[in-house]
C-alpha cells in the first residue's frame, strides 16, 4: 500500500517521532507476540461489551426512553464535550498527527465500564450510569466516525489522517452490538447469570489493562517509551480530569441532585479505552502504530487514578452529607406516613356511632315518655 510505505511522513517532522517511531513501529509489528496481543484486545472488548449488555434491564431502558435525560447527557458529554476537549488539547500542545489522532480517537469514544464501578463507590445513580454507558455506546456507531471526520480536518494534509480508517472504525463499533445484544438477552432470561457476568467483566477490565500496559511496554521497549513527548503525558493527565469537571458542570446545569452529578461526572470523564485500543490495534498498520498505541493505556491509568482520588475524597468528606440527606428523606417519608395513618383513622371514625351515644338515645326517649 502506498500509504503504509510512508511511515516517516506519517510520523511527522518532530524530533520525537520521526525515526524513533518508525523503528519502534517495525519492531512492534514484527514480533510474534503482536498477534496474541491483537487476540487479547479483541477478547477484552467482547467481554466488556457483554458485561455492559448484562447490566441493562429492558424495563429501565423503557423508562429512560420516556424521559431521556440520561440519553441527552450521554450525547452532550461523550460526543460534544469530550471530542471538543480532545481537539483543543491537541491544538494547545501542538501535537503531531500521530499523537493527535490517538487523542481524538480516545476523546470520541463512548463511556467505559469503569464509570459503573466508580458510581457504586460514590453512592451514585446506577440506573443513570448504566443507561448513559449503554446509550453512548450505541450512539457511537454513528457519531464517533462523524466526530473523527470533523475534528481531523485540521491534520487532513498528513498521510496518517488520509489513512484514517473510518469504515474500519464503524465496523469495529458494529461488531460490539452482538455481545451487547447477547448480554441484554442473558439479563432478560437469566438475571443471576447476568449479575455474575457483570462482575467478571469489571474485574477483567482491570486485569486486561494491566496486562496490556505491561506487554505493550515490553514490546515497544523503554527507548520508545522514553521518546513519548511530555505533552502526551500531560494530556493523559488533564483530559480525564477536565472530563470529570465538565460532566459535573453539565449535570449542574440540568439541576440534577448531588448523587446524579457525581454519576454524570464519572460517566463523562471515563472513556472506553478498550474500544480505543482495539481500533488502534486492529485498524492501523503496525508500522504506524508505534507510541500512538500507548495513549489509551496512559489515559486508562490516569483516569483510574483520578477517579480513585474522587472516590477517596467522597469517602472522607462527602459521605456524611449523603447520609444526612438520606436520613432526611426517610424522616419525611415517616412523617407523611403518620399523617396518612391519622387521616385514615379520621376517615374511618366519621359518621360512626359510639357505644355511649347508642346507650344515651333510649334514656332520652324514656324521660320524654314520663
Enumerate the H helices of the chain as residue ranges.
7-10, 18-30, 33-54, 58-66, 69-76, 82-92, 97-107, 114-121, 126-151, 159-162, 166-175, 177-189, 191-226, 230-253, 258-269, 273-283, 286-289, 295-313, 319-349, 355-369
Domain presence at residue 36: no
Q: What is the spatial distance between Cα 193 and Cα 278, in angstroms, rounded to a whole number?
A: 27
Question: pLDDT-based confidence at 244, cuts 50/70/90?
Answer: very high
Determine if the pTM surpasses 0.75.
Answer: no
Q: Is 34 inside a domain boundary?
A: no
Query: Total domain count for the chain?
Result: 1
Flag whether 83 is in a domain. yes
Q: Give a yes or no: residue 304 inside a domain.
A: yes
Distance, in Å, from the CA atom of 270 to the CA atom of 8, rounded to the nearest integer, reads 33
Q: Which residues contact 262 (CB under 8 A, 6 or more apart)?
A: 119, 122, 123, 124, 248, 314
Question: Do residues 58 and 188 make contact, with C-beta atoms less than 8 angstroms apart?
Answer: yes
Residue 368 has a pLDDT of 41
Is 361 within a domain? no
We report the CATH number of the domain holding residue 139 as 1.20.1530.20
**pLDDT bracket for residue 48 (50, 70, 90):** confident
Q: Do 136 and 49 form a contact (C-beta atoms < 8 A)?
A: no
Measured CA to CA, the distance from residue 216 to residue 31 in angstroms comes to 11
pLDDT digits (tens, 9 = 90+) for 137-188: 888 888 888 898 889 888 867 666 666 666 667 666 767 778 888 888 888 8
> For residue 145, is it within any domain?
yes
Output DSSP code: residue 16: T
Residues of the domain holding 113: 41-316
Sequence-ordered list of residues with C-beta below 8 angstroms from that of 289, at least 6 positions apart, any chain: 25, 28, 29, 280, 281
pLDDT confidence band for 277 (50 / 70 / 90):
confident
Taking alpha carbons only, the member of 305, 288, 295, 290 closest to residue 105 is 295
Q: Is residue 203 part of a domain?
A: yes
**Count of C-beta atoms within a 10 Å radius of residue 97:** 27
Q: What is the dihedral of CA 319, 321, 322, 323, to 10 degrees?
A: 90
Question: What are the C-alpha distances in Å from 360 to residues 350, 352, 364, 369?
Answer: 19, 15, 7, 15
Question: Does some domain include residue 65?
Answer: yes
| Residues of the chain above pLDDT 90, percent | 17
- In this structure, what DSSP letter does residue 154 have? G
| Higher-scoring residue by pLDDT: 218, 7 | 218
pLDDT digit string, tens, across residues 181-240: 888 888 888 888 888 888 888 777 777 777 777 766 666 656 666 777 889 999 999 999
Amino acid at each position: 500500500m502506498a500509504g503504509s510505505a510512508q511511515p516517516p511522513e506519517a510520523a511527522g517532522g518532530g524530533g520525537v517521532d520521526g525515526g524513533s517511531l518508525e523503528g519502534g513501529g517495525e519492531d512492534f509489528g514484527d514480533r510474534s507476540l503482536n498477534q496474541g496481543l491483537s487476540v487479547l484486545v479483541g477478547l477484552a472488548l467482547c467481554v466488556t461489551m457483554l458485561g455492559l449488555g448484562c447490566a441493562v434491564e429492558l424495563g429501565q431502558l423503557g423508562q429512560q426512553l420516556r424521559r431521556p435525560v440520561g440519553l441527552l447527557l450521554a450525547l452532550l458529554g461523550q460526543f460534544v464535550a469530550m471530542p471538543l476537549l480532545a481537539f483543543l488539547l491537541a491544538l494547545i500542545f501542538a501535537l503531531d498527527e500521530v499523537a493527535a489522532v490517538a487523542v481524538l480517537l480516545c476523546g470520541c469514544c463512548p463511556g467505559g465500564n469503569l464509570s459503573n464501578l466508580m458510581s457504586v463507590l460514590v453512592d451514585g445513580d446506577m440506573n443513570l450510569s448504566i443507561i448513559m454507558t449503554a446509550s453512548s455506546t450505541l450512539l457511537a456507531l454513528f457519531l464517533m466516525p462523524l466526530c473523527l471526520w470533523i475534528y481531523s480536518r485540521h491534520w487532513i494534509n498528513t498521510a496518517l489522517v488520509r489513512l484514517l480508517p473510518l469504515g474500519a472504525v464503524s465496523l469495529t463499533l458494529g461488531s460490539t452490538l452482538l455481545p451487547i445484544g447477547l448480554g441484554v438477552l442473558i439479563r432478560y432470561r437469566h438475571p443471576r447469570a447476568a449479575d455474575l457476568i457483570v462482575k467478571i467483566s469489571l474485574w477483567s477490565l482491570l486485569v486486561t489493562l494491566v496486562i496490556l500496559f505491561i506487554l505493550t511496554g515490553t514490546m515497544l521497549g523503554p527507548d520508545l517509551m522514553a521518546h513519548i513527548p511530555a505533552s502526551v503525558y500531560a494530556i493523559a493527565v488533564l483530559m480525564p480530569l477536565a472530563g470529570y469537571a465538565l460532566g459535573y458542570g453539565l449535570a449542574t446545569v440540568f439541576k440534577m441532585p448531588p448523587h446524579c452529578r457525581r454519576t454524570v461526572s464519572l460517566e463523562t470523564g471515563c472513556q472506553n479505552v478498550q474500544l480505543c485500543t482495539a481500533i488502534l490495534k486492529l485498524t492501523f498498520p503496525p508500522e504506524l502504530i508505534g507510541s500512538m498505541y500507548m495513549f489509551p493505556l496512559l489515559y486508562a491509568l490516569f483516569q483510574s487514578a483520578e477517579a480513585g482520588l474522587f472516590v477517596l475524597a467522597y469517602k472522607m468528606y462527602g459521605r456524611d452529607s449523603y447520609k444526612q440527606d438520606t436520613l432526611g428523606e426517610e424522616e419525611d417519608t415517616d412523617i407523611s406516613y403518620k399523617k396518612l395513618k391519622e387521616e385514615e383513622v379520621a376517615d374511618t371514625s366519621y359518621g360512626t356511632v359510639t357505644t355511649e351515644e347508642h346507650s344515651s338515645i333510649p334514656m332520652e326517649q324514656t324521660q320524654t315518655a314520663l
